[in-house]
Amino acid sequence: MILGLRLDGLPLAEIAEAAALAEAARLDFVLTGDPDGGAVGAVGRDALSIASFLMTRTREIGLVATVSQDSAPFNVARALASMDHLSGGRCGWVPIPGEPSDAERDAEHLDVVQKLFNSWDDDALVFDKAASVFADRSKVRRIRHAGAHFTVDGPLNAPRPVQGHPVLMQRAAAASRGADLWIGTGGDQRAGPNGAPTFHQITLGSAVQTGAVLTERFSDTGCAGFLLQPRTLDDIKTFARDVAPILQAEGLLQSAYAPGDFRVRLGLRRPVNRFSATRADATA
């Protein structure tokens, strides 16, 4: 089962300890920001900065942040690509719809962000000191996007992310259909609109109660796993001490991180670079 931990309800001063506990318990990821797009305190408003901070306080765990689609797609793509490179492929994100809500605009926003990720081929970085070729300029291109809401030339000024694209998580209610993982609102969804696996959100309670709910719901619904919501730091300590070892003994939770980036560990496929694919077709 895939387990993530929400950090948005905790004070900023407890975030680093919470993430370290989650990593010690071998959870798959921590999430900064409210995936439901709810109001947050003034200091914690930029979830990506908080996730970036956790990059140097943890070594292995996935770092997922909410990102507002009110920011320009170029800024969003660049921040996420930077985060993914700097963290060695541990980045994930949950797009939060812009205001006022406009499903068509948000879908175009996501499309532009992903095009920008693909503006560099995976093998564009050459590092050939002798010939002075840092990047092969034939493998970096403009995206020339001109849509109803955004006009973006590109290319991005950062190479393609380590994971191809950072892991994309969306609420099951979101309009767009490209998510790697869906965040359910409860209920018993097994898969999201595009067939991708779904999480259920669970508020952490007593250890006994939490452990039972997780194992039962996991086998009953066939969901991919859970997004755990702690009420306090103590909830995380209790989970790490009392619940995680049981889940590990039952083979439901990893007891060590497997090699590879966040996407690989989650068993997700690497996104194809449409631009590269086109180039390969053209030369075939």
Partner 1 sequence: MSDDPSAPGDLLHLGFWMLTSGGHIGSWRHPATEPEKLLGIDYYVQTARLAAKGKFDMVFFEDTLAARERTGGVFGEASINSLDPLVQIAALAGATRDIGLAASFSTTYHSPRTLADKFAAVDHLCGGRAGWNMVTSGAAAGRNFGSGAHPEHQARYGLAHEVTEQVKAHWAAGPASPQGHPVLIQAGMSPQGLEFASSYGEAIFAGFKDVEGGRAFRTNLRTLVKGKGRRPDAVKVLPGFMPVIASTAAELADKKAFYRDLIHPALLRGMLGERFNIDFTDVDLSQPFPMDEIRDGLEDRPMIGGDRALFVREIVPGETVGAYAERMASKLSGHLTAEGRPEDIADFMQTWLQGGGCDGFIMQALQSPLELELFVDQVVPILQKRGLHRQDYRGSTLRDHLGLKKPA
Among 110, 152, 167, 243, binds partner 1 (CB under 8 A): 152
55 binds partner 1 (CB under 8 A): yes
- CB of 181 vs partner 1, minimal distance in Å: 22
- CB of 65 vs partner 1, minimal distance in Å: 10
Return d(Cα 51, Cα 66) in angstroms, integer.
9
157 binds partner 1 (CB under 8 A): yes
Among 36, 98, 135, 191, binds partner 1 (CB under 8 A): 135
Among 150, 191, 205, 264, binds partner 1 (CB under 8 A): 150
Q: Which secondary-structure segment (H or E) carries 62? A: strand 62-68
Q: Which secondary-structure segment (H or E) carries 208? A: helix 207-221
* Three-class secondary structure of residue 21 per DSSP: helix
198: nearest Cα among 206, 207, 187, 190: 190
20 binds partner 1 (CB under 8 A): no
72 binds partner 1 (CB under 8 A): yes
How many residues does the structure list for the chain?
284
12 binds partner 1 (CB under 8 A): yes
**Binding range to partner 1, per CB under 8 A, among 65-73, 163-171, 197-205, 270-278:** 65-73
Among 45, 241, 270, 274, binds partner 1 (CB under 8 A): 45
153 binds partner 1 (CB under 8 A): yes
Closer residue to partner 1, CB minimum distance, 145 or 237: 145
**Binding range to partner 1, per CB under 8 A, among 1-9, 152-160, 252-260, 275-283:** 152-160
Return d(Cα 77, Cα 211) in angstroms, integer.
38
- CB of 74 vs partner 1, minimal distance in Å: 4
Among 86, 202, 233, 252, binds partner 1 (CB under 8 A): 86
Largest CA distance in the chain: 63
Residue with tokens 């993530």: 4
Closer residue to partner 1, CB minimum distance, 46 or 102: 46
Please tell me the count of residues contacting partner 1 according to CB under 8 A: 55
Enumerate residues 90-129 that contact partner 1 by CB under 8 A.
125-127, 129
Closer residue to partner 1, CB minimum distance, 120 or 239: 120
54 binds partner 1 (CB under 8 A): yes
138 binds partner 1 (CB under 8 A): yes
- Write out the residues near partner 1 by the rule CB under 8 A: 12, 16, 42-46, 48-50, 52-57, 68, 70-72, 74-75, 78-79, 81-83, 85-88, 125-127, 129, 131-138, 140, 146, 150-159
